[in-house]
Copies of this chain bind each other. A is one copy, B any other.
Amino acid sequence: MKANNSIIQLLLKGLSLSKSEIEITEPLFQKVFYEKGALLLRTNDIVNYQYYTLEGCLRSFYLDKYGKEHTLQFAIRDWWISDYTGFFSDSKAILNIEVIEDAILYRISKENKERLYSKIPKIESFFRKKLENAFAAFQKRILANISQTATERYLNFINTYPDIEKSVKNYHIASYLGITTESLSRIRKEISMS
């Protein structure tokens, strides 16, 4: 692909890169396809990649000791996803990542990302800012979890992520909110009646 029409400009949107910088960057990303149901990552795997979602829908979830799934994050178009704990600290995966809708992704390895940071420092700034935003979102999520009722969290979720709601099952949303699918069903009924 020609540098002046590179996918990189989508992945690193907002960053203005020279033609030569794009040529350095582009080969460090790999385009990959996955079908619905595929598992990109399993607990205890080495976390090699961070993924950019071009199309489709993914989710990361934690499998607890009782075999229950707890969704940490969804990713739709233009979202990044990984098991960041493992990706950042070179420890093994705590999470699983599952494809919810057939997906076209770009992935970058840890090593290539560090390489990119040292070659093009403004890419480090770019990802730092992404991380700052994700951090802020996590902070809000923690506060919501400890201060709001399930109903409030659900309303907040569908307002904040209307596009995600379309792509995922209610039981995924329930597991994201930290409640059972039965409870979510009752909450939805309550809301529809009021």
Q: Which residues of A are at the interface with B, using a C-beta cutoff of 8 A?
A: 62, 64, 68, 70, 72, 84-85, 88-89, 94, 117, 121, 124-125, 127-129, 131-136, 138-143, 145-147, 175-178
Contacts and interface: CB of A to CB of B under 8 A. Distances in A.
Contacts of A143: 62, 70, 72, 94
B145 A145 contact: yes
Given A70-B143, A124-B125, A143-B62, A138 B135 contact: yes
B147 A70 contact: yes
B147 A146 contact: no
Contacts of A134: 135
A135 B70 contact: no
A176 to B, nearest CB: 8
B136 A89 contact: yes
Contacts of A72: 139, 142-143
Contact of A147 (B62, B127, B131, B141): B62
20 contacts: A62-B143, A70-B146, A72-B139, A84-B135, A85-B136, A85-B139, A88-B129, A88-B135, A89-B132, A89-B133, A121-B124, A124-B125, A124-B128, A127-B128, A128-B128, A138-B142, A141-B142, A142-B145, A145-B178, A146-B178
